[in-house]
Structure 1
């Protein structure tokens, strides 16, 4: 059963950027608020350039807001310096990208193990967790393969395993099926939905696709710097 307490809280987020040449200001986020509980998926829709990736970077502590705050698993990011933020991301946040971002020189098992290695987990303790994840991903026979030996769908499954292996509170997915064909993308989404829910994680899914957003419990649209419930069709 899902925990009813929020794993992610963002309050009154503002983010503005100076235009090139220092003339004028681009207002990307204007008072964004968002919360999500354990076991919940929130999808963020919006046009290209609407600020979806900016918001994701604020939720991860990669960027800092001009105003407002973000809490992940009860920790307010603005209270942390860069070393502590790095540790929090390693332990509490998992990332899934459109471009997979696997390391070519590492095997499937080594790519999945990377968050554990960075957090100092001993290899002998990591092995059973990696083996179990490989089986769950349907990649039990591909542990020693390298990324260039995998299909796009297999590579994204490895990326999902890497994002989940350290049991993060929050998973941030940025267009996770953008480089996959429709059928492969649907299978990858089905796997992602099953995995994050069975482990009680929180998933924030950024997409421009309503078909992808359909796996979410809630769909929000980012428009003119603000989030709103997605209850009407947009012509984009």
Structure 2
């Protein structure tokens, strides 16, 4: 990692628990790791192991009980909601298992939304949309609506939307989990190629060893702790 610039993501001592009746259930315990710019890191583990909770903490959607998470040197755990909104808008992209495309907007309008929020002029929006649709194999589908697309096509649009504003960090939560095996393989290959080509930093949550295989490194979330030796775990 270039020591002159901050890590894309730096996590230190992150812990989170939730109340369950009179008890508290510990979900994450003292999680710490760093991710270099342009690196892909997979977070793997069983369902309910805390992977998605960790992703929500990294995005500032949820707040930890202790510890800190920094994106480009800026703490998301101490930041106020207005600054968090700006940070997400400018520097974070999201890829969801269930696509989360806006059904009343066309493909082009879904992709344009992050750019509009960041004040990108119309001509540059159109050029960027055309560029990314070509890269994900959907050139000419600008006017289609989400319900006119297959699941794999919707996820390709969702991937394009996540990176269209050139974010420093992309968070992906089970991006192939809602797809059949063949479509999932195609989307996974696209995801790997696109992120290498575009140079984005990717945090990928999955319970699949195959999906984790595209990452530079993988960590397992097990009993609330992060473990680098994923082969030793029966996740």
Instruction: Provide TM-score, normalisation by structure 2.
Output: 0.95
The separation in 1 between residues aligned to 2:230 and 2:174, in whole angstroms, is 21
Q: Does 1:208 align with 2:207?
A: yes
Unpaired segments ≥5 residues, structure 1: none
User: Per-residue deviation at 1:122?
Assistant: 2.4
- d(CA) in 1 for partners of 2:164, 2:27: 33
Paired residues, number = 233
| Contact 2:42–2:212 (Cα < 8 Å) also in 1 | yes
Residue 96 of structure 1 corresponds to 95
Residue in 2 aligned with 1:109? 108
**Cα RMSD between the aligned structures?**
1.4
Does structure 1 conserve the Cα–Cα contact (< 8 Å) formed by 2:220 and 2:230? no
Which deviates further from its counterpart, 82-91 or 182-191? 182-191
Comparing 25-34 with 120-129, greater Cα deviation is found at 120-129
Q: Is contact 1:14–1:67 with CA below 8 Å preserved after alignment?
A: yes
Distance between the aligned counterparts of 1:12 and 1:228, measured in 2? 14
CA contact (8 A) 2:28 2:225 kept: yes
What do the CA deviations read for 1:114-171 (whole angstroms, capped 9, x no partner)? 1111222222221111111111111111111000110111000000000000000001
Q: Is 1:235 matched with 2:206?
A: no
- Contact conserved, 2:92 with 2:168, CA < 8 A, in 1? yes
TM-score (norm 1): 0.94
1:39 Cα deviation (Å)? 1.5
Shift of the alpha carbon at 1:38? 1.4
Corresponding residue of 2:174: 175
